Chains A and B, each alone.
Chain A
């Protein structure tokens, strides 16, 4: 009851703004048109009707598309910074980019090549400063929780010389940070969202490790705590067939994701990622019917990021000559 009194006063303005912005999202109709457009120039014409238009005027290559989408997302975050009453929610979402950046930078320091790029504008850390600090090993100037995560990752890497340790340590730090940030908001919907995301990361690690025939110790090591799934249960069925895993997951909402991302007997990580995004967007859908509160704010961020992902698939797919049918299969579920 108290929340019902507080929420409109705390979130009303921000929710009012994003509810209007939500109506300007791409929508199924435009997505369909984008998918069936005959070429990239046609797609640009369709995008010109939306607020994406100005970002794509000069774009011709996949790199341009990436850049335009990142610039667009940066503007979205700028807007969110302006309207959201509680900066903590945003710092929660932005820290994901920071941890991602740290991963890329650390790997670069150790001479690992990665295809992934830095999200310079989306994180909160100053990328140039952090880059310098990491190269020189002087981490004093970096804020928590990043600093201790970096120390641990570097230490683990020095021992093993295995870049996977960097991923594991930073992922663990990221999800611990996210969970704590969500818990502070005392919002079931939000914590549920984070815990489900943790489960889905765990499941991905589980299935990937399985398809690569790794030792079960690997998933024990990489397992993220604080999700709904229990570590022991997953580890105990690690060497069993995939059917058993699917069966065990029947009581959760993840069984379908796992089942559908196994093609033949092979696990398809890309398909899994798509199913995960679909699942999370579906998780957010009830927020559409909450008139005011934290839920619509969170949903908007995820919905917007998802929209950018969808656009990336469609535009780059078209640029690289994929058929409309193939692109359609890869497109994710939409929030609006």
Chain B
């Protein structure tokens, strides 16, 4: 088994990091999309012509889940979690991978939910003025920035952990 920290060895920390990135990013996106999409459905029930704008608004909080997925997948690929018993990952490296994934885990969870709120407000804007869909999208995309930043930093940290 080798050395452990809090009961996990290096390999397990890496798996933990990959899983939580996907889970938290996914939760953020699910909540965000659900709130925007539910209200969009109400608007569409009255006015189906607004589908285009509403679709984009509802889909915007979905990127956080994708960032979590990318991070998780990179951990799996970079550190060869698919093959071998993972003995190659020493404890220090495993913990570094986990810490490297933290920005994505936390930021994608939080920004996904908040982006959902802004998108919901955007839906309410589109319900009133259909032509304002673009403005709603831009506002919602502002929240997106911070999810992207967290993804960039997480990727660098994972690469750093790989190079030792």
Task: Point out the residue from B45, B46, B116, B127 that lies within 8 Å of A8, measured CB to CB.
Answer: B116
Which residue of B is nearest A336, CB measured? B128
Task: Point out the residue from A5, A9, A20 that lies within 8 Å of B43, measured CB to CB.
Answer: A20
**Can you report 19 residue pairs joining A to B where beta carbons are below 8 Å apart?**
A8-B38, A9-B38, A12-B35, A12-B38, A12-B42, A14-B42, A15-B39, A15-B124, A16-B43, A16-B46, A17-B43, A17-B45, A19-B43, A20-B43, A22-B128, A291-B121, A292-B39, A292-B121, A292-B124
Provide the bound-state CA to CA distance between A83 and B45, in Å.
Answer: 11
Q: A5-B113, A9-B34, A9-B35 known; A291 and B124 CB under 8 Å? A: yes
How many residues of B are counted as interface, with CB atoms below 8 angstroms from the partner's CB atoms?
A: 24
For residue B13, give the distance in angstroms from its CB to the closest CB of chain A.
31
Interface residue B66 (Cβ < 8 Å from any Cβ of A): no
Interface residue B131 (Cβ < 8 Å from any Cβ of A): no
Q: A8-B117, A292-B120 known; A15 and B42 CB under 8 Å? A: yes
Query: For residues 4 through 63 of chain B, which have their beta carbon under 8 Å from a beta carbon of chain A?
Result: 31, 34-36, 38-47
Task: Mark each residue of chain A from 12 to 31: 1 if its CB lies under 8 Å from any CB of chain B, else 0.
Answer: 11111111111100000000
What residues of A have a CB within 8 angstroms of the CB of B125 in the complex? 291
Interface residue A212 (Cβ < 8 Å from any Cβ of B): no
Q: A291-B121, A291-B124, A292-B120 known; A17 and B34 CB under 8 Å? A: no
B113 engages A12 (CB within 8 Å): no
Provide the bound-state CA to CA distance between A18 and B43, in Å.
Answer: 8
A17 engages B42 (CB within 8 Å): yes
What residues of B have a CB within 8 angstroms of the CB of A14 in the complex? 42
Interface residue B123 (Cβ < 8 Å from any Cβ of A): yes
Q: A19-B124, A23-B127, A292-B124 known; A8 and B36 CB under 8 Å? A: yes
For residue B38, give the distance in angstroms from its CB to the closest CB of chain A.
4
Which residue of A is nearest B114, CB measured? A4
Q: Give 8 nearest A-B pairs by CB, closest first.
A: A16-B42, A8-B35, A12-B38, A19-B127, A20-B46, A12-B39, A291-B121, A291-B124
A16 engages B117 (CB within 8 Å): no
A16 engages B41 (CB within 8 Å): yes
A13 engages B42 (CB within 8 Å): yes
A12 engages B120 (CB within 8 Å): yes
Provide the bound-state CA to CA distance between A4 and B41, in Å.
Answer: 19
Query: Which of A18, A20, A21, A23 is most buried by chain B, counting CB atoms within 10 A of its CB?
Result: A20
A23 engages B41 (CB within 8 Å): no
Which residue of B is nearest A20, CB measured? B46
Provide the bound-state CA to CA distance between A16 and B43, in Å.
Answer: 4
For residue B117, give the distance in angstroms from its CB to the closest CB of chain A.
6
For residue A50, give the distance in angstroms from its CB to the closest CB of chain B.
15
Which residue of A is nearest B47, CB measured? A20
